[in-house]
Amino acid sequence: MALAEEDRMTDQPRAVDGLAGSYDEIAQDLQKLRFAAGDVSYAEIVRRIAAHRERHGVDAGNARPARTTVYDAFRTGRTRVNPQLVGEIARVLGASETEAAQLQERCLHARRNQPAAPAPLLEPAPPAPRPVAEKAAALARGRKLMLILACVGLNVLGFSLVAGLGLPLYFDMVGTAIAAIALGPWAGVAVGLSTNAIGLAITDSSSIAFALVNVVGALVWGYGARCLRLCQTFPRYLLLNVLVALSCSVVATTLLVLLFNGGTGHASEATTRNLAEMGSPLSVAVLGSNVVHSLADKLLTGFVVLSALGAVRRWIEVPFYETLSADVMLHLKAVGNPAGGATRGFRTWQAPLAVRAARPGSRMGVSPQVADPP
pLDDT digits (tens, 9 = 90+) for 71-123: 888 888 777 778 888 888 888 888 888 888 888 888 888 777 766 555 566 66
CB 275 within 8 A of CB 284: yes
Which pLDDT band, with edges at 50, 70 and 90, does 38 fall under?
confident
Among residues 272, 238, 273, 270, which one has the least CA distance to residue 253?
272
* Mean pLDDT (the chain, rounded): 80
Strand, coil or helix: what is 62? helix
pLDDT, one tens digit per residue, over 283-295 is 999 999 999 999 9
Residues 6 or more apart whose Cβ sits within 8 Å of residue 175: 150, 151, 152, 153, 154, 155, 191, 195
Q: Which domains, and CATH codes, for the chain?
A: 2-112 (no CATH), 137-334 (1.10.1760.20)
Q: Which range, 26-35, 268-277, 353-362, has the best average confidence (pLDDT)?
A: 268-277
Mean pLDDT over 34-63 rounds to: 84
Lowest mean pLDDT among 96-100, 161-165, 202-206, 322-326: 202-206
- Percent of the chain predicted with pLDDT > 90: 36
- The predicted pLDDT at position 373 comes to 45
* Helix (H), strand (E) at residue 161: helix 132-165
Q: Where are the beta strands (DSSP E) in 80-211?
A: none
Query: Residue 252 has what pLDDT?
Result: 95
Question: Does 363 have pLDDT greater than 50?
Answer: no
Question: What is the crossing angle of helices 185-199 and 174-182, to 10°?
Answer: 160
Contact between 73 and 30 (Cβ < 8 Å): yes
Q: What distance separates the 2 farthest-apart alpha carbons in the chain?
A: 176
Judge whether residue 143 has pLDDT over 70.
yes
Strand partners, 368: 353
Please give the Cα distance from 91 to 85 (Å, whole number). 10
State the average pLDDT over residues 156-181.
91
Long-range CB contact pairs, 51-58, < 8 A, 24+:
51/3, 51/6, 52/7, 52/88, 52/91, 52/92, 53/88, 55/7
Which class for 231: exposed (0-12), middle (13-18), buried (19 or more C-beta within 10 A)? buried
Structural contact between residues 241 and 301, judged by C-beta atoms closer than 8 angstroms: yes
How far apart are alpha carbons 244 and 221 in whole angstroms? 7
Is the confidence at residue 233, as pLDDT, over 60?
yes
pLDDT band at 365 (very low <50, low <70, confident <90, very high): very low
Backbone angles phi, psi at 354, to 5 degrees: -100, 140
Residue 35's alpha-carbon distances to 16, 17, 31, 94, in angstroms, are 13, 16, 6, 11
pTM above 0.85, yes or no: no
What letter represents residue 221's amino acid?
A: W
* Beta-bridge partner residues of 367: 354
Contact call for residues 221 and 244 (beta carbons, < 8 A): yes
Task: State residue 309's pLDDT score.
Answer: 92
Q: How many CB atoms lie within 10 A of CB 328?
A: 15
Question: What per-residue confidence (pLDDT) applies to 12?
Answer: 41
Give 154's contacts (C-beta < 8 A, 6+ positions apart): 174, 175, 178
> What's the half-sphere exposure (Cβ side, CA atoms, 13 Å) at 357?
2
The predicted structure's pLDDT at residue 124:
66
Band (240; pLDDT cuts 50, 70, 90): very high
Distance CA 243, CA 290 (A): 13
Q: How far apart are CA 150 and CA 190, in angstroms?
A: 12
